[in-house]
Structure 1
Amino acid sequence: MADRSTSRKCLLCRIGYSLVGIAIGVSAFIVWLVVFEHTKATIHIVTFSGLSAVLAAWNLVTHIMHLQDYWRTWLRGLRYFMACGALFSIIAIAGFITYLVLGIKAGIGVTVGSFYISCVWCFITFKWAFLLLLYSRSYRNEFSDLTALLEF
């Protein structure tokens, strides 16, 4: 049987990637909320950049819990994380399609409060939600043999 465990180097790279995602999401959230004073026009960008930062932080928590081997005692949490990742993926895809259609119908190019910038942040939010789903599933599969033993 092949060893399905995640290497420490790969896990540290994932942690670093999540930290970068948090920094970018929080900085975009602050910039669009504070610097641009078009809060009604940019609220959709603020929302999805903030959600992106939250999902990146959630990925960070997932990786740190795996690094500390915490999942062995709370395997049901991975199922919860997978469900939340799927839910936020659906929300991000719906937002992407909605803002793309609104941007095309409005006929406005890329400006400060354009719908196309919202599409970009919906895609980034989708990326983090999908990675949450993917990594939670991966970590759950690593402990699948342990789950079978715990059922008896």
Structure 2
Amino acid sequence: MALCCRNVWCYMFFSFIGIILGISSFICFTFVFYNYYAGVMGFYSGVLALMVFHLHRLHAKDVLRDWYSVDIFSNIEFFALIGMMIGLATTLWFIFVQLYYEPPIMPIQTSAAITTVWTFMTFKWGLILFFTSKKYSRSLEEIHLVLTNSENA
């Protein structure tokens, strides 16, 4: 197995862990502890991790160019940018709340510290999705240039 394939499988493994943790945090914090902010941000983090997993899976199977075009990757980059901005803004907000008001971690229902963790995870997966889609968009552009040059020759 080539080094590239091993890296993609590692990325897929870590994004799969992100999906599981994001969805389980949504269920746990929303329906058990009633911390809706942490639950929603965990769900959004899981969705972003799912998109990263999907892109890596398509790349590993070498069918990425059959599913997506460069234009669609710009839309994915925009969605990732929105996720990054939401994650960064809410992370900074909850860090401010945690430092200024110093609420206790318990009870979990009103914990700003736990919500800060999941807003940061949303920022992280938005950032990873942005750079992953940028990388695969560039590779599709290169393949498209090679194919158009070989057709013209």
Alignment partners' CA distance in 2, 1:132 and 1:80? 12
Of 21, 37, 40 in structure 2, the residue corresponding to residue 44 of structure 1 is: 37
Structure 1 unaligned residues grouped into runs of 5+: 1-5
RMSD: 2.0
Show the counterpart of 1:13.
Answer: 10
Structure 2 unaligned residues grouped into runs of 5+: none
Q: Deviation at 1:127?
A: 0.9
Structure with higher helix content: 2
Matches within 5 A, 1:48-87: 48-73=41-66, 74-75=68-69, 76-87=71-82
Whether 2:101 is the aligned partner of 1:115: answer: no
TM-score by length of 1: 0.84
Farther-moved stretch of structure 1 (120-129 vs 135-144): 135-144
Letter in 1 for 2:118: W
Show the counterpart of 2:144.
Answer: 147
Of 23, 26, 31 in structure 2, the residue corresponding to residue 26 of structure 1 is: 23
Farther-moved stretch of structure 1 (6-15 vs 54-63): 6-15
Stretches of 4+ aligned residues off by more than 3 angstroms: 149-152
Of 87, 92, 96 in structure 1, the residue corresponding to residue 87 of structure 2 is: 92
Q: Percent identity among equivalent residues?
A: 23
CA 1:61–1:50: 2 relative to 1, 3 Å = same
Alignment partners' CA distance in 2, 1:94 and 1:140? 27
TM-score by length of 2: 0.84
